[in-house]
Amino acid sequence: MAQYQPDFHSSDFDGRDFDTGSWGSSFKNWFFDLLPRYFKENDSYKNPQGHGLLERYLTIFGEDLDYNVIPKIELYLDIIDASICDEKYLIHLSDSLGNPPDVFKDTEIYRNLLQYIVTFYKIKGTIKSYKLFFAILGFDVEVEELPHQDDDVFYDSGAIYDTGQEWHTYDRNSCLICYNYNINIWPSNNRDLIISSDTLEKLREVIKFNEPLNARLGTFTSTITLNYSINVISPNTMENIKGSINTIRVKGNFTTFDAEVESRYDNEKETIYFTSILKDDDFSGTINILELRNPDIGYLLDSKSGLNILKDSESRVRINWAVKLNFN
């Protein structure tokens, strides 16, 4: 029985012909060569090259493998390489790699994510993983782990089976108590904060993907820090300055509303801190104007990036104002 021998003079090691660039033949004669010599000697209707009817017929199947099947097999490694595969294969690669969220809506960035996702899984569920994903989206993040009182955990015991006690972890039909945490984000490099419904959905996908099994999100907020200088007609006492600002007016693409402002004064830093919590239901679209408001004086600020407040004509009081958008 004849066996196929690779011809290294006419084709390279990639299976292609050196001269034509087409795939070198591997299976053209393979099927017929499997038959005993009898079929070669007694094959009928031989052509000038000595190939009979049966040999030419079986060659059709071999050539189909050589030119239509083998090239696709050789390209298999390209198909499973996220950096070079056709875009139609990305969704299947994503399925095999745990379905990391496509929060970027950018094919090239998602290719890079799939390339390194196995390495990322080594830190998934840690604060470092949150910082990495949010940084890619252009945000800094602060993860606050809320205090949790650990319960005593006992192994299964026949004496207390199904007692229903919270601390009998292995004697009840439920999981361990989850730990709660809060997330606060703000734009990197002091950029303007732009929160649209699409951006908000991406951020939530990032949180869901990174969240450990035994953790539950508490509050999800974003902080805007304002640093502008304005004149305020107000008595010279800190308490009066604090009390003069009690609401914030938010103007978005589709909405305008007021929210309450809380304030406190730091004696050591000589800084007044204003904080306001804005709920997700309060706005839609992009928030583009924030105004501090006083019912007696009117609007004190028309800005989206900062605030300083003048105590009087000679001395200046530093104001650090943080607006938190609540996305829960």
- Is the separation of the CB atoms in 170 and 156 below 8 Å? yes
Q: CA-CA distance, 282 to 259, in Å (whole number)?
A: 9
Residue 224 has pLDDT above 50, yes or no: yes
SS3 70: helix
- Taking residues 173-191, report their average pLDDT: 73
Better-predicted residue by pLDDT, 170 or 102: 102
- In which band, very low, low, confident or very high, does the pLDDT at 12 lie, cut at 50, 70 and 90? very low
pLDDT at 283: 46
Q: CA-CA distance, 291 to 249, in Å (whole number)?
A: 5
pLDDT at 237: 45
Most confident of 63-72, 235-244, 312-321: 63-72
The DSSP call for residue 282 is G
Residue 289 has pLDDT above 50, yes or no: no
- Counting DSSP H helices and E strands in the chain, the numbers are 10, 12
Most confident of 108-122, 173-187, 292-306: 108-122
The DSSP call for residue 151 is P
pLDDT at 57: 92
14-52 per-position pLDDT tens digit: 555 555 555 555 788 888 888 898 888 888 888 888 889
Among 41-55, 216-230, 300-314, the range scoring the smallest mean pLDDT is 300-314
- Is the separation of the CB atoms in 153 and 112 below 8 Å? no
- In which band, very low, low, confident or very high, does the pLDDT at 257 lie, cut at 50, 70 and 90? low
Q: CA-CA distance, 265 to 124, in Å (whole number)?
A: 39
Q: CA-CA distance, 323 to 57, in Å (whole number)?
A: 79
- Taking residues 215-235, report their average pLDDT: 57
Residue 202 has pLDDT above 70, yes or no: yes
Residue 169 has pLDDT above 70, yes or no: no
SS3 255: coil
Give the C-alpha distances (Å, rounded to integers) separating 73 from 67, 69, 76, 85, 91. Answer: 11, 6, 5, 14, 20
pLDDT at 14: 53
pLDDT at 249: 59
Better-predicted residue by pLDDT, 78 or 153: 78
pLDDT at 221: 73
Among candidate residues 208, 238, 226, 209, the one with its CA nearest the CA of residue 324: 226
Q: CA-CA distance, 189 to 139, in Å (whole number)?
A: 9
In the chain, the percentage of residues whose pLDDT exceeds 70 is 48
pLDDT, averaged across the chain: 68
Q: CA-CA distance, 322 to 264, in Å (whole number)?
A: 12
Residue 210 has pLDDT above 80, yes or no: yes
Residue 136 has pLDDT above 60, yes or no: yes
The DSSP call for residue 89 is G
42-88 per-position pLDDT tens digit: 888 888 888 899 999 999 999 888 888 888 888 888 888 998 998 99
Side chain identity at residue 302, one-letter code: D
- In which band, very low, low, confident or very high, does the pLDDT at 259 lie, cut at 50, 70 and 90? low
pTM of the entire predicted model: 0.50
pLDDT at 183: 86
pLDDT at 13: 45
- Taking residues 205-217, report their average pLDDT: 88
